[in-house]
Structure 1
């Protein structure tokens, strides 16, 4: 399975308010990097006065630009900031991408079974979960088909 890098802007309505606030400061691409690196961690945004604060700033600067770190420090200075993992948003984004790519492969002439064979490993989705995701689409297609009886 390859690593997927979500575009959280596409699912921003599913993001916690704190992440939306961070994204408004430093943008979605940088916020995505921050979540990927520190998601699930309580992160004290220090004022940079103590050595531990300097160490945290250095950790942030490994992921973000100095300007982005400065914006976070200015806004959250002295606060404990929990950086959520955003798993619900990540899964929603992944599922949207998966379903779009299934439809694309089908439009290119691939069978649904072959599309799943190609895409399930790419997206880290089990076949049973893939069928669950596809079921609402197929049941709506079935209802559009006229009865033969």
Structure 2
């Protein structure tokens, strides 16, 4: 197995280990009975940890089953996009409390969509804003009214 495939398998193994660790930590959260049955404070963390485990397993299996051809290195543009996305996520988390879930999520999504638009295409900002507003609003409504959980309201709560 060449160096790139070893690195990819290592990333998959780390993702799997983090998912299992996150699941173990989630199991220590006390369960609180509520009107929604199985949806409590542990629901989303269990879903996220299961997704992390699944992605880790898929990463390992996909790389191990890949043909013996050479795997291309990520281009400099791809690596810059990854670092921009990480910075954008950090900014989103930092702004979530002061701006509130709705505004921070709409801004994050519009910027992320724009950043992921291929360089040879013009970003469709009206469509990006529409998708971001609908997604944020629906997600907020689900958490607020279906799960009875309050997300950060930020400047809208003042």
> Using CA pairs below 8 Å that are at least 6 residues apart, which structure has the higher relative contact order?
1
TM over 0.5, shorter chain: no
Structure having the higher Rg = 1
More strand, by proportion: 1
